[in-house]
Amino acid sequence: MLGAIFALGWAPCVGPTLSAVLSLPYSFGGDGTIQRGTALAFAYCLGLGIPFIALALALHKGAGRLHWVRQNQRLIVRIVGIVLMLVGAVMASGLWTLWPNSLQGSITGFDSPI
């Protein structure tokens, strides 16, 4: 049940990224070969899966070392909440779209290494 809820919450974030990765072989004058699409999809899957595997291994190996996190849980939650509020304020103010737009000039002509 938890996995299904997680998947529903992540769908809006993963969907556009995955569709961009899958369409990348055909954009920017790409030849659209199946090898390039497969390599990009494989890299996407590794980038999505490796952090979860690393976190699971770290939690399993260092479960006893989480004492500091448990002691400071309230502080951590407050810091994360403040960061989320700041990101929300930046998005609501419109600065969130200005920043990527200002970067567009520096990444034009970028070609995917894969």
pTM score, two decimals? 0.47
Tell me: the pLDDT tens digits for 57-99?
887 777 777 788 888 999 999 999 999 999 889 889 988 888 7
More confident residue, 107 or 23: 23
Distance CA 32, CA 59 (A): 40
Distance CA 110, CA 24 (A): 12
CA 7 to each of CA 3, 4, 50, 81, 93: distance values in angstroms, whole numbers, following the listed order: 6, 5, 17, 22, 29
Distance CA 72, CA 77 (A): 9
Tell me: the pLDDT tens digits for 20-64?
787 877 776 566 677 777 888 888 888 888 988 888 888 777 777
The stretch 98-114 carries a mean pLDDT of 68
Distance CA 75, CA 22 (A): 40
